[in-house]
Structures are given as C-alpha cells and as structure tokens.
Structure 1
Amino acid sequence: MVLTLGFVACTRMTPTQQGALSGAAIGAAAGAGISAIAGGNAGVGALLGGGLGAVAGTVVGSQQERRY
C-alpha cells in the first residue's frame, strides 16, 4: 500500500520535482551505505548524500523540463 501511494503521488510532479525526490532517495541510500562500509556514521552519510542527491536531481530535472 505504501509503494502504491508513493507511485500515485509522483504522477502529478514536474520533472524537476521528480528529479529532486529521486536524487534525494538515491543519494541518501548511497551515502548511508558508503558511510557504513567506511566505518563512519550512516545517519550523517544519509543526510549528506540525500542533500547532494536532491540538488543534483533538481538540476537534471530542470534541464529536462527546458527541453520540452
């Protein structure tokens, strides 16, 4: 049910918003994983990765919107 709600909520998003959300999710997962493997704090890695991923996803999504 949670996954279905997540997919339905994303259908009315702009490419910029979708990019930010996807980037944040991927960045948070990657940051947590890398921090855990490196022996650091996974929570801090998730926060940093999520923030950087959101910024990168916003830039990519914004450029996709400009194409159309």
Structure 2
Amino acid sequence: MKTTIIAITSAVAAMTLSNCTSPAGPDTQRGIATGGLLGAGAGAIIGHQSGRTAEGALLGAAVGGTAGGLYGNARDQERRGY
C-alpha cells in the first residue's frame, strides 16, 4: 500500500510540474493541477472498492487533469476575449 501511495503521489507531481512551463494561462495550469489531484483522490477511492487503487488513481488523475485543463483553458480564452 505504501508503494502505491508513493507511485500515485509521484505521478501526480510529475504531471502537475510538467505543465508549469507550457504557454498555457494561469487558469489552465491551475485547472490541470486541481483536476489531477481531485481526480486522483476520487479514482483511488473508487479503485480501492474494486481492489485496484493505483489504477483508479492514475485514471482519475488523467481524466481530472484533462477536464480541469479544458475548463481552465476556456476561462483563459474568455478572459482574453476570444
């Protein structure tokens, strides 16, 4: 279990930090980070119920990060007047 938590934390941190150098706006970056963290937590809880905590957390982080990034990008574009 400890190895799983370390792997999940490392994966989420890598995804979050890899987006800090992109030309995306601040809301996009914040959305990716927040969505990834919330998605990882929700995925871990749901995955734990089926005995696949790590897989659930990784899938949740990917889906949450994507959804958060899309939402944040829309806010950035709205702010810029696109």
Shorter-chain TM-score range: 0.7 to 0.9
Letter in 1 for 2:52: N
Match of 2:76 in 1: 65
Aligned residues: 55
CA offsets per residue over residues 10-57 of structure 1, 9 Å max, x none?
xxx7000000000000000000001112x2210110000001111001
Gaps of 5+ in 1: 1-12
TM-score, scaled to structure 2: 0.64
Residue of structure 2 in register with 1:9 after alignment = none
Q: Taking structure 1 as the reference length, what is the TM-score of the superposition?
A: 0.76
What's the RMSD between the two structures over aligned residues? 1.1
Over the matched positions of the two proteins, sequence identity in percent amounts to: 36
Q: Which runs of 4+ in 1 moved over 4 A?
A: none
CA distance in 1 between partners of 2:64 and 2:51 (Å): 19
Is there any run of 5+ residues in structure 2 with no aligned partner, and where?
1-24
Aligned equivalent of 2:35: 23
